Structure formats: structure tokens, C-alpha cells
Amino acid sequence: MEEIKIIELKQSVFEDNDKDAERLRAGLKDAGVFLMNLMSSPGSGKTTLLLSLAEKLAGRLDWAVMEADIDSDVDAARMIDAGVRSVQLHTGGMCHLDADMTRQGLAELGLIQGEADRPVAGCEKLDLVVLENVGNLVCPAEFDTGACLDVTILSVPEGDDKPLKYPLMYEKCDILIVSKIDVLPYFDFDTEKVVANALMRNPKIDVIFVSAKTGEGMDELAVKIEKRVREWQE
């Protein structure tokens, strides 16, 4: 019997995307734009956190948001209502964004152009673009978007065991934002355990505790993000 050929399609998709993401990152460096990829499960508080961050970043960084969803424009509408420049990206049913989808959003913001991701001459200068990825703890972590910083949110109601169950998300991210800490009294959520679980997956992960509702920890988060942006621009 003829030997069956097995083609590892997924592997090549990831490799192609990784190369594309590197190209995009180099283009962003030339354009002086810092791209932050924000990932988490649905409803953990990404949009609410960005709305709170908008108040803290006002006057400090020029920024815009790319809201990615399977459908709807509710998140982009919330950001625009708050005065933050925002575009909505529809993934056509996909549960993640890859580098090329991210590129299309950045082109829509008028920041990069062409296959070489050249900076757009004379365009409005932005320091930071935040990509709110599709709410999902698995797929977004598998695709490099070309971001300079990968951040994940874990909200208190989700439980402190998530780094144990979704390893890649925590291995990949530079920062873990533990959110909704205002509801800590109502949940069996162990703050020491979540840090230990996250560090077990990624010893370099930077963990920060915030509540977008009360504002606790938000100043510290804004400072952290601004520092990363300025270091990138140097």
C-alpha cells in the first residue's frame, strides 16, 4: 500500500505567521508605534479596563484602539463614545487575529502601508495602539500578532487556577493583569496562589492587580505601559 503523506498544516500556518509578525514588528518600530495585544476570556473586563486606562493616559500618550470581535461593533462604539480613536475589526468567525489581520487594522488607522509595512508619511503620529483581541483564552495565544507587548487579563470570578488550565496564554504574555479585585471578598480567589501559578508558567511574567471599577491599581498600570512605550521608542 502506498505510504500516506501527512502534512502538518497547522505548523506551517504558525511558521508563516511568525515570520509575518516579525516583519510587522519591524515596520512598527520604524513608525515609532508600540502595539499592545490584550487577550483574555470573554467578559473578563478588557473594554472596561481600556476605558479606565483612557482617563489615565490622557495627555501622556497619543493612542488608539483596535477592537476585534467575531461580530458587532459594541466595543468600538464604547471607546469612541469615551473619545478614544477606535476601529472595529471583524474576524469572520475566527477566534483569533494573526499578523496580517492586525496589519489591516493598522493600515485602516493610517499608520503603515505596503508589503514592507512602511510608516505612512505625514500621518497623525500615535505612540500606542492597543489591540483588544477576541475574547478567548486559547486561540489568540497561538498567533503572534506582531505586537511589542502581550498582556492577558484574568478576572477574579474566573478563578486563580486559570494559569494551570491554559498554559500557553501565560507562557506567552509579558504582563498578567488580575482584574475585578473589588469583588475579591465574594470569591474564593487566592491572590498568592494566582501569582505562584502564573510564575510557574512564566517566571518573567509581571503580575499587577487592578479594579477598573474602583480605579485601584490603574495608575500603576498606566505608568507601566507608558514606560514600555517610551523604552520601545528610544
Binding site for ligand GTP (CB under 6 A): 40, 42-48, 75, 135, 179-180, 182-183, 211-213
H helix or E strand, kind and range, residue 154: strand 149-155
Helix (H, G, I), strand (E, B), or coil: what is residue 60? coil
Q: Are 105 and 131 in contact (CB under 8 A)?
A: yes
Helix (H, G, I), strand (E, B), or coil: what is residue 24? helix
Stretch that binds Mg ion, among 69-77, 82-90, 140-148, 166-174 (CB under 5 A): 69-77
Q: Are 133 and 37 in contact (CB under 8 A)?
A: yes
For ligand GTP, the closer of residues 26 and 70 by Cβ is 70
**43 binding partner (options Mg ion, ligand GTP, none; Cβ < 5 to 8 Å by kind):** ligand GTP
Q: Are 96 and 136 in contact (CB under 8 A)?
A: yes
What is residue 181's DSSP assignment? G
For Mg ion, the closer of residues 50 and 126 by Cβ is 50
Residue nearest to ligand GTP (CB): 135
CA angle (18, 26, 41) in 5-degree steps: 50
Interface residue with Mg ion, options 41, 47, 86, 202 (CB under 5 A) = 47
Residue nearest to Mg ion (CB): 47
The distance of closest approach from Cβ of residue 6 to ligand GTP in the complex, given in angstroms and rounded to an integer, is 35
Stretch that binds Mg ion, among 45-53, 89-97, 102-110, 219-227 (CB under 5 A): 45-53
For ligand GTP, the closer of residues 107 and 183 by Cβ is 183
Residue 192 is placed in which grid cell? Answer: 498568592
